[in-house]
């Protein structure tokens, strides 16, 4: 192995990563590609190559070249599988990362394939990874409008989430409510949104209140909808309007003059 090539590949990859963080995709691609070129003389199983592929993925995603982004995710995963143990949380996370990208590009069926491969590993890893896998499976099935299957995975995710102190339960219940709403299962949607409010860390979760109001409206429960609006939404909208007006007045208020020097008094 040429030590100088390993050093240069590492440095070029790091420079490219910095440009990527700065969202200068042209320079990022230039340096990361140079890093990849220097790996040609290196053993094919070094972890650096996987990191280079991952950086190329993120950079192409930034530049909205989604086909290249997917290509390098898969290349990175393929390299990882060939060079590293396949039953680790890192491998499960990589499968999920590829799947999330595919789902973002609305390639839900392909996303599910990768998530199911992750799932076989996750079952022997930390619960947080299993939670994540179930949640993303639900997202993919929801994208396919297979709401019942999506709900099955959401319930699995919720069950795990209740055992993890690090998880905010509110968003997963919102996801459940949204899935039921799309399936036109409005009573279950109301229950899920109610749970989301129960576990919400926000005292003024207006978006969830609005979802509940909309469900009541769709069900032609005008009395419920009106009462809910009066008790849970009107005051919050007024608070938000008041805060907005305060911010506007603060912006309009004259700012104290800032001098580039200190005044001296005799």
Q: What are the pLDDT digits (tens) for 50-107?
A: 889 989 999 998 988 989 999 988 888 888 888 877 778 888 988 999 999 999 999 9
For residue range 169-194, list pLDDT tens digits in order.
Answer: 999 999 999 999 999 999 999 999 99
Is this model's pTM higher than 0.85 or not? Answer: no
The per-residue pLDDT for 238 is 66
Q: Is the pLDDT of residue 260 over 80?
A: no
Domain ranges of the chain: 1-62
Token pair of 158, please? 């919720």
Output the pLDDT for position 248: 52
pLDDT value at 209 more than 50? yes
Look at residue 81 in the predicted model and tell me its pLDDT. 85
Sign of CA dihedral 163, 167, 173, 178: negative
When mean pLDDT is compared over 43-47, 95-99, 257-261, the highest value belongs to: 95-99
Question: Stretch 239-253: mean pLDDT, rounded?
Answer: 52
Which tens digits make up the pLDDT trace of 94-130? Answer: 899 999 999 999 999 999 999 999 999 988 778 999 9
Whether the Cβ atoms of residue 159 and residue 139 lie closer than 8 Å to each other = no
What is the structure's pLDDT at 116? 95
């Amino acid at each position: 192995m040429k030590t100088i090539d390993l050093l240069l590949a590492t440095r070029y990859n790091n420079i490219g990563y910095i440009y990527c963080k700065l969202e200068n995709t042209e320079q990022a691609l230039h340096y990361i590609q140079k890093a990849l070129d220097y790996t040609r003389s290196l053993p094919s199983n070094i972890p650096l190559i996987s990191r280079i592929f991952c950086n190329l993925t993120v950079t192409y995603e930034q530049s909205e070249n989604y086909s290249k982004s997917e290509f390098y995710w898969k290349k990175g995963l393929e390299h990882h599988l060939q060079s590293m143990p396949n039953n680790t949380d890192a491998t499960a996370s990589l499968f999920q990362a590829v799947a999330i990208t595919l789902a973002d590009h609305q390639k839900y069926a392909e996303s599910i394939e990768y998530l199911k491969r992750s799932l076989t590993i996750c079952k022997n890893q930390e619960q947080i990874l299993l939670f994540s896998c179930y949640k993303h499976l639900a997202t993919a099935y929801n994208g396919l409008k297979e709401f019942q299957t999506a709900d099955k995975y959401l319930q699995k995710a919720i069950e795990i989430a209740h055992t993890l102190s690090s998880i905010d339960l509110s968003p997963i219940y919102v996801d459940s409510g949204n899935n039921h709403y799309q399936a036109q299962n409005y009573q279950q949607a109301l229950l899920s949104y109610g749970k989301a409010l129960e576990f919400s860390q926000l005292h003024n979760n207006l978006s969830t209140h609005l979802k509940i109001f909309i469900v009541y409206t769709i069900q032609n429960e005008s009395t419920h909808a009106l009462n809910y609006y009066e008790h849970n939404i009107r005051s919050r909208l007024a608070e938000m309007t008041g805060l907005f007006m305060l911010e506007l007045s603060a912006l309009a208020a004259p700012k104290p003059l800032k001098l580039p020097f200190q005044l001296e008094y005799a």
